[in-house]
């Protein structure tokens, strides 16, 4: 079956992080994850608390839903999760439908699973999870994914590591040394994804901390350190 | 003569804006500008107040100065001004010296002058100034520069427009419609470049304002809206 479990669609909004930071995009969140990161900012996509919000949709219904929400007011769709890489044929179809309308697809996944449609994605972000997440990286799988993306000859793939502490930073460095030819984005972690109100001062302090680590480190001359712009502006609100 | 008038060199720090936002870089600021933007955040590079700080340096002396400041702790140098495009042969030599050491050169200029070395720059940012600046765009010159960059076949050129108000926004849109194939970055203006203390709340409010203009505008589906990260973190301090 080619249906996709969707827990939310929203937009247009601005992509707040990573390789296409700052661009207008729609968001589609798939349900289900093979990870359980301790600090996940979208735990409702896998922890069961919002299971009644999940709908199984054909790729065409997703496209129609996006067009209903935004008409012609977008050229980019970001598919996040959960882990969209748990989904096979349906995702390949959705990407083809988007491309047929001239819409670009950006997908984020943690690098725990390969899908052949990775090679069709316009902006593929592989975001392996650092030690603070409580997850353990499957390096063989990650090697395999990065190798295949390299072999595809398309420069559409980047890495992103969220950094909460110096142990995570060392992990990010290990990722960079293992795949030096892949653009690497570092992003300070949001240490309280439930705090209400304006959290920008706390987030900017962590960005400065991460800036200073990179500034002092000759092994990190080419990485990019970026905040989550949406969290700076809209804080911990959902659907922005 | 191939000497370059330099008013400051500093770093390493993090590039806070534009196409290579987030990357570690050294900064070199050249003295002198053919513009007098009302809100210029680096007016000391042309208004005479810091004229005694200017030194005329051979390209090799600039490279040596950067190496003294930072050793091997950088792979990128950003050359800003003032308008670096006022400088001819010396800048071509500096770029060659940087490249010979594997260092990438990013240069920002307003698009009022052409230099042949534009084609050698790794990251060329053309930043035409909107009406709020008080400057008038020479569209023939800008067309000429964008055409030549296109003919060079290198995808190293992007446009950046600082936006203070809705008139500036319409100007940015005009730039985008004129050169739709060139990546365009929008950046909210900093309305008080002399204010001391933490200005991040004011800057984030302007970023949200600009996000919302783009979100609502189907003619701006592909532009990127980015803040000045250095101003969010280090506010109006110089040399960061």
- Residue A98 has a pLDDT of 98
Q: Are A118 and A145 in contact (CB under 8 A)?
A: yes
| pLDDT for B240 | 67
Q: Residue B23: which of A207, A222, A233 has the nearest Cβ?
A: A222
Say whether residue B113 is in contact with chain A using an 8 A CB cutoff. Answer: no
Residue-by-residue DSSP string for chain A:
---EEEEEEEEEEE--SGGGTTBEEEEEEE---S---TT-TTGGGTSSTTGGG-EEE-HHHHHHHHHHHHTTS-SEEEEESS-GGG--HHHHHHHHHHHHTT-EEEEEE-SSS--GGGGG-SEEEE-PPPGGGT----HHHHHHHHHHHHHTT---EEEEEEESSHHHHHHHHHHHHHSTTS-EEEEE--S-TT--S--HHHHHHHHHHHHHHHHT-GGGTT-EE---HHHHHHTT-TT-
Backbone phi and psi for residue A119, each to the nearest 5 degrees, phi listed first? -70, -15
The answer to whether A130 and A137 are in contact (CB under 8 A) is no
Q: How far is A8 from chain B (nearest CA, A)?
A: 19
pLDDT of residue B19: 97
Angle between helices B166-178 and B200-215 (to 10 degrees): 50
Is A119 annotated to bind a ligand? Reply is: no
The answer to whether the complex's ipTM is over 0.85 is yes
**CA of A217 to nearest chain B CA: how many angstroms apart?**
7
B99 - beta bridge partners?
none
Best residue in B22, B197, B210 for a mutation probing chain A (most A CBs within 10 Å): B22
Distance CA B56, CA A77 (A): 50
Distance from B49 to chain A by nearest Cα, in Å? 30
Nearest partner of B164 among B4, B38, B18, B15, judged by Cα: B38
Q: Could you read off the pLDDT of A169-209 as tens digits, one per residue?
A: 999 999 999 999 999 999 999 999 999 999 999 999 999 99
pTM: 0.97
The reported pLDDT for the residue numbered A237 is: 84
- Report the pLDDT value the prediction gives residue A238, as an integer from 0 to 100: 74
Query: Which element (helix H / strand E) includes B225?
Result: strand B224-225
CA A126 to chain centre: 7
Q: Which helix (H) or strand (E) holds A57?
A: strand A55-57
Task: Give residue B153's pLDDT.
Answer: 84
Q: Which residues pair with A92 in a beta bridge?
A: none
The answer to whether B221 faces chain A, any CB pair under 8 Å, is yes
pLDDT tens for each residue of A75-115: 999 999 999 999 999 999 999 999 999 999 999 999 999 99
pLDDT above 90 as % of chain B: 95
How far are the Cα atoms of A6, A67, A107 from residue A58, in angstroms, in the given order? Answer: 10, 14, 18
- pLDDT tens digits, one per residue of A20-59: 999 999 999 999 999 999 999 999 999 999 999 999 999 9
Would you give the distance in Å from CA B22 to the centre of its chain? 14
pLDDT digits (tens, 9 = 90+) for A138-166: 999 999 999 999 999 888 899 999 999 99
The two tokens of residue B160 are 């950046």
Burial B120-142, CB ≥16 within 10 A → b, else e: bbbbbbbbbbbebbebebeeeeb
* CA–CA min distance B214, chain A (Å): 7
* CB of B16 less than 8 A from some CB of A: no
Chain A touched by B177 (CB under 8 Å)? no
For B233, the closest of A76, A207, A222 (CB atoms) is A207
Which residues are within 8 A (CB) of A64 and not within 5 positions of it... i.e. 6 or more apart? none
Interface of A with B in 69-98 (CB under 8 A): 71-76
Contact flag B221-A74 (C-beta cutoff 8 Å)? yes
B227–A229: do the CB atoms touch at under 8 Å?
Answer: yes
Predicted local distance difference test score (pLDDT) of residue B239: 73
Q: What share of chain A is helix, strand, coil (3-state, %, to 5)?
A: 40, 20, 40
10 Å CB burial of residue A136 (0-12, 13-18, 19+) is exposed
Gap from B1 CA to chain A (nearest CA, Å) = 33
Backbone φ, ψ for residue A21 (5° rounding) = -50, 135
Task: Answer whether B24 sits within 8 Å of A72, measured CB to CB.
Answer: no
**Ranges in chain B, pLDDT < 50:** none
Do the annotations mark residue A22 as ligand-binding? no
Locate A25 and state its tokens: 């995009």
Q: How many CB atoms lie within 10 A of CB B116?
A: 11
Residue A240, pLDDT > 70, answer no
How high is the mean pLDDT of chain A? Answer: 96
Tokens of A137: 């990286």
pLDDT, tens digit (0-9, with 9 covering 90-100), for B125-137: 999 999 999 999 9
Report the chain A residue with the minimal C-alpha distance to residue B230: A208
| pLDDT(A1) > 90 | no
For A151, the token pair is 């072999």
């Amino acid at each position: 079956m080619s249906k996709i479990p969707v827990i939310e669609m929203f937009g247009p909004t601005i992509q707040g992080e990573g390789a296409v930071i700052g661009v207008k995009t729609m968001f589609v969140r798939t349900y289900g994850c093979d990870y359980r990161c301790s600090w996940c900012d979208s735990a409702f996509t896998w922890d069961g608390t919002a299971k009644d919000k999940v709908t199984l949709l054909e790729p065409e219904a997703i496209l129609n839903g996006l067009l209903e929400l935004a008409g012609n007011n977008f050229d980019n769709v970001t598919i996040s999760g959960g882990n969209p890489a748990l989904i096979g044929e349906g995702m390949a179809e959705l990407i083809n439908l988007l491309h047929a309308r001239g819409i670009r697809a950006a997908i984020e996944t943690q690098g725990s699973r390969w899908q052949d449609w990775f090679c069709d994605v316009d902006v593929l972000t592989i975001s392996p999870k650092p030690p603070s997440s409580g997850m353990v990286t499957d390096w063989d799988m990650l090697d395999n994914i990065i190798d295949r993306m390299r072999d595809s000859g398309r420069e559409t793939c980047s890495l992103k590591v969220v950094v909460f502490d110096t142990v995570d930073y060392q992990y990010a460095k290990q990722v960079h040394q293992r795949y030096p030819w892949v653009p690497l984005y570092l992003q300070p972690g949001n240490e309280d994804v439930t705090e209400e109100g304006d959290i920008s001062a706390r987030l900017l302090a962590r960005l400065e901390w991460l800036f200073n680590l990179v500034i002092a480190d000759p092994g990190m001359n080419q990485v990019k350190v970026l905040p989550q712009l949406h969290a700076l502006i809209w804080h911990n609100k959902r659907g922005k």
